[in-house]
Chain A
Protein backbone atom coordinates (compact mmCIF):
# COMPACT_ATOMS: atom_id res chain seq x y z
CA UNK A 1 0.00 0.00 0.00
CA UNK A 2 0.83 3.71 0.16
CA UNK A 3 1.65 4.21 -3.50
CA UNK A 4 2.06 7.69 -4.91
CA UNK A 5 2.41 8.33 -8.61
CA UNK A 6 3.59 11.37 -10.53
CA UNK A 7 3.10 12.31 -14.13
CA UNK A 8 5.02 13.07 -16.23
CA UNK A 9 8.30 11.56 -15.09
CA UNK A 10 10.25 13.70 -17.55
CA UNK A 11 9.40 16.95 -19.24
CA UNK A 12 11.42 19.21 -21.50
CA UNK A 13 9.92 22.56 -22.40
CA UNK A 14 10.82 25.91 -23.89
CA UNK A 15 11.42 28.93 -21.72
CA UNK A 16 8.23 30.86 -21.09
CA UNK A 17 5.85 27.92 -21.29
CA UNK A 18 3.88 26.44 -18.40
CA UNK A 19 4.20 22.89 -17.19
CA UNK A 20 1.72 20.92 -15.09
CA UNK A 21 2.80 18.03 -12.89
CA UNK A 22 0.26 15.65 -11.37
CA UNK A 23 0.61 13.79 -8.11
CA UNK A 24 -1.80 11.01 -7.22
CA UNK A 25 -2.20 8.81 -4.17
CA UNK A 26 -3.30 5.49 -5.64
CA UNK A 27 -4.42 3.45 -2.66
CA UNK A 28 -5.14 5.92 0.11
CA UNK A 29 -6.75 9.29 0.63
CA UNK A 30 -4.18 12.01 1.09
CA UNK A 31 -5.47 14.81 3.27
CA UNK A 32 -2.14 16.57 2.87
CA UNK A 33 0.26 16.65 -0.04
CA UNK A 34 3.69 18.22 -0.21
CA UNK A 35 5.75 19.51 -3.09
CA UNK A 36 9.53 19.42 -2.94
CA UNK A 37 12.29 20.51 -5.26
CA UNK A 38 15.75 19.03 -5.34
CA UNK A 39 18.71 20.36 -7.27
CA UNK A 40 21.58 18.00 -8.11
CA UNK A 41 23.53 16.87 -5.05
CA UNK A 42 21.44 19.07 -2.77
CA UNK A 43 18.89 18.41 -0.07
CA UNK A 44 15.18 18.19 -0.54
CA UNK A 45 13.61 21.61 -0.32
CA UNK A 46 9.97 21.87 0.69
CA UNK A 47 8.14 24.26 -1.60
CA UNK A 48 4.59 24.07 -0.32
CA UNK A 49 2.05 22.10 1.66
CA UNK A 50 -1.46 21.62 0.41
CA UNK A 51 -4.55 20.36 2.17
CA UNK A 52 -7.49 19.10 0.16
CA UNK A 53 -9.95 21.85 -0.58
CA UNK A 54 -7.89 24.72 0.79
CA UNK A 55 -5.14 27.00 -0.44
CA UNK A 56 -1.56 25.79 -0.34
CA UNK A 57 0.90 27.09 2.22
CA UNK A 58 4.12 28.16 0.56
CA UNK A 59 7.55 28.17 2.12
CA UNK A 60 9.47 31.38 2.37
CA UNK A 61 11.04 32.36 -0.92
CA UNK A 62 8.71 30.27 -3.09
CA UNK A 63 6.60 32.40 -5.42
CA UNK A 64 2.99 31.27 -5.19
CA UNK A 65 2.08 32.96 -8.48
CA UNK A 66 4.82 31.06 -10.26
CA UNK A 67 4.21 27.67 -8.69
CA UNK A 68 0.46 27.12 -8.72
CA UNK A 69 -0.78 24.28 -6.57
CA UNK A 70 -4.23 22.76 -6.72
CA UNK A 71 -5.35 20.00 -4.36
CA UNK A 72 -8.83 19.44 -5.69
CA UNK A 73 -9.45 15.95 -4.37
CA UNK A 74 -8.15 13.57 -1.73
CA UNK A 75 -6.13 11.71 -4.34
CA UNK A 76 -4.86 14.41 -6.68
CA UNK A 77 -2.66 17.47 -6.39
CA UNK A 78 -1.16 19.40 -9.27
CA UNK A 79 1.80 21.74 -9.48
CA UNK A 80 1.95 24.14 -12.40
CA UNK A 81 5.21 25.89 -13.11
CA UNK A 82 4.15 29.03 -14.94
CA UNK A 83 6.39 30.85 -17.41
CA UNK A 84 9.20 28.40 -16.79
CA UNK A 85 12.80 29.54 -17.04
CA UNK A 86 16.03 27.52 -17.21
CA UNK A 87 16.66 28.12 -13.51
CA UNK A 88 13.43 26.23 -12.77
CA UNK A 89 15.02 23.08 -14.16
CA UNK A 90 15.05 20.66 -11.26
CA UNK A 91 13.71 17.42 -9.82
CA UNK A 92 10.21 18.00 -8.46
CA UNK A 93 8.91 15.44 -5.99
CA UNK A 94 5.53 15.22 -4.35
CA UNK A 95 4.64 13.33 -1.23
CA UNK A 96 1.32 12.46 0.34
CA UNK A 97 0.21 11.84 3.87
CA UNK A 98 -2.98 10.22 5.09
CA UNK A 99 -4.75 11.37 8.20
CA UNK A 100 -2.80 12.40 11.26
CA UNK A 101 0.24 14.72 10.97
CA UNK A 102 2.40 12.06 12.60
CA UNK A 103 1.67 9.75 9.69
CA UNK A 104 4.39 8.89 7.22
CA UNK A 105 4.87 10.87 4.06
CA UNK A 106 5.08 8.65 1.00
CA UNK A 107 6.87 10.02 -2.02
CA UNK A 108 6.05 9.94 -5.68
CA UNK A 109 8.81 8.94 -8.11
CA UNK A 110 9.56 12.54 -9.03
CA UNK A 111 9.42 14.61 -12.21
CA UNK A 112 12.53 15.90 -13.94
CA UNK A 113 11.94 19.27 -15.54
CA UNK A 114 14.36 20.68 -18.08
CA UNK A 115 13.65 24.17 -19.36
CA UNK A 116 15.55 25.12 -22.49
Chain B
Protein backbone atom coordinates (compact mmCIF):
# COMPACT_ATOMS: atom_id res chain seq x y z
CA UNK B 1 0.00 0.00 0.00
CA UNK B 2 0.90 3.64 -0.13
CA UNK B 3 2.24 5.22 3.01
CA UNK B 4 3.65 8.51 4.16
CA UNK B 5 5.22 8.81 7.60
CA UNK B 6 5.99 11.96 9.52
CA UNK B 7 6.25 12.62 13.24
CA UNK B 8 2.99 13.47 14.94
CA UNK B 9 4.31 16.37 16.96
CA UNK B 10 7.52 18.32 17.48
CA UNK B 11 8.49 21.12 19.82
CA UNK B 12 11.12 23.77 19.18
CA UNK B 13 12.26 27.09 20.61
CA UNK B 14 11.75 30.49 19.06
CA UNK B 15 14.81 31.50 17.05
CA UNK B 16 16.05 27.94 16.68
CA UNK B 17 16.08 25.55 13.72
CA UNK B 18 13.84 22.52 13.30
CA UNK B 19 13.81 19.71 10.75
CA UNK B 20 10.60 17.83 10.00
CA UNK B 21 11.16 14.49 8.29
CA UNK B 22 8.90 12.67 5.88
CA UNK B 23 9.40 9.17 4.48
CA UNK B 24 7.22 7.69 1.80
CA UNK B 25 6.44 4.41 0.08
CA UNK B 26 4.26 5.03 -2.96
CA UNK B 27 3.53 3.41 -6.29
CA UNK B 28 5.70 5.69 -8.36
CA UNK B 29 6.77 9.24 -7.66
CA UNK B 30 5.97 12.47 -9.44
CA UNK B 31 6.85 15.04 -6.84
CA UNK B 32 6.62 15.87 -3.15
CA UNK B 33 4.84 18.84 -1.62
CA UNK B 34 5.01 20.51 1.76
CA UNK B 35 2.05 22.49 3.02
CA UNK B 36 1.56 24.53 6.18
CA UNK B 37 -1.78 24.44 7.97
CA UNK B 38 -2.57 26.72 10.88
CA UNK B 39 -5.26 25.55 13.28
CA UNK B 40 -8.69 26.15 11.86
CA UNK B 41 -7.41 27.17 8.46
CA UNK B 42 -6.85 25.53 5.09
CA UNK B 43 -3.37 24.38 3.99
CA UNK B 44 -1.07 26.77 2.19
CA UNK B 45 1.59 25.68 -0.27
CA UNK B 46 5.20 25.86 0.93
CA UNK B 47 7.39 23.90 -1.47
CA UNK B 48 7.62 21.33 -4.25
CA UNK B 49 10.50 18.92 -4.91
CA UNK B 50 10.72 16.55 -7.84
CA UNK B 51 14.50 16.24 -8.20
CA UNK B 52 17.00 15.25 -5.52
CA UNK B 53 18.51 18.04 -3.53
CA UNK B 54 17.72 21.09 -1.48
CA UNK B 55 15.28 23.83 -2.43
CA UNK B 56 15.63 26.99 -0.39
CA UNK B 57 12.95 29.61 -0.02
CA UNK B 58 13.67 32.20 2.63
CA UNK B 59 13.61 30.70 6.11
CA UNK B 60 12.21 27.43 4.76
CA UNK B 61 14.11 24.76 2.84
CA UNK B 62 12.98 21.39 1.57
CA UNK B 63 15.18 18.43 0.73
CA UNK B 64 14.45 15.32 -1.30
CA UNK B 65 16.19 11.98 -1.77
CA UNK B 66 14.20 9.83 -4.17
CA UNK B 67 16.41 6.77 -3.71
CA UNK B 68 15.72 6.84 0.02
CA UNK B 69 12.08 7.85 -0.22
CA UNK B 70 12.86 10.69 2.13
CA UNK B 71 12.29 14.40 2.46
CA UNK B 72 12.67 16.99 5.14
CA UNK B 73 11.42 20.51 5.71
CA UNK B 74 13.91 22.76 7.47
CA UNK B 75 12.66 25.85 9.25
CA UNK B 76 15.23 28.40 10.40
CA UNK B 77 14.97 31.36 12.76
CA UNK B 78 11.73 30.03 14.13
CA UNK B 79 8.98 32.49 14.92
CA UNK B 80 5.91 31.98 17.05
CA UNK B 81 3.75 32.25 13.92
CA UNK B 82 5.43 29.09 12.60
CA UNK B 83 3.39 27.07 15.10
CA UNK B 84 1.24 25.00 12.76
CA UNK B 85 0.86 21.57 11.23
CA UNK B 86 3.16 20.72 8.36
CA UNK B 87 1.80 18.31 5.78
CA UNK B 88 3.92 16.18 3.47
CA UNK B 89 2.21 14.96 0.30
CA UNK B 90 3.49 12.82 -2.58
CA UNK B 91 2.16 12.54 -6.12
CA UNK B 92 2.23 8.91 -7.22
CA UNK B 93 2.47 7.37 -10.68
CA UNK B 94 -1.23 8.03 -11.29
CA UNK B 95 -0.74 11.64 -10.22
CA UNK B 96 -2.82 11.00 -7.12
CA UNK B 97 -1.75 13.16 -4.20
CA UNK B 98 -1.11 11.00 -1.15
CA UNK B 99 -1.20 12.93 2.12
CA UNK B 100 0.72 12.38 5.31
CA UNK B 101 -1.10 12.90 8.60
CA UNK B 102 0.88 16.05 9.32
CA UNK B 103 3.35 17.12 11.97
CA UNK B 104 2.15 19.54 14.60
CA UNK B 105 4.97 21.97 15.38
CA UNK B 106 4.84 23.78 18.70
CA UNK B 107 7.10 26.79 19.14
CA UNK B 108 7.99 27.84 22.66
CA UNK B 109 9.38 31.26 23.61
Residues of chain A at the chain B interface (Cβ within 8 Å): 2, 34, 43-44, 46, 91, 93, 101-102, 104-110
Contacts and interface: CB of A to CB of B under 8 A. Distances in A.
Contacts of A110: 41-42
Interface in B47-74: 48, 50
Q: What DSSP secondary structure best describes chain B's contact surface?
A: loop
A27 B40 CA distance: 24
B78 interface: no
A98 to B, nearest CB: 13
Contacts of B48: 104
Interface of B: 30-31, 33, 35, 40-45, 48, 50, 87, 91, 95, 97, 99-102
Nearest to A97: B97
Contacts of B30: 101-102
Given A93-B43, A102-B95, 12 more contacts: A43-B100, A43-B101, A46-B99, A101-B30, A101-B95, A102-B31, A104-B45, A104-B48, A105-B33, A107-B42, A107-B43, A109-B41
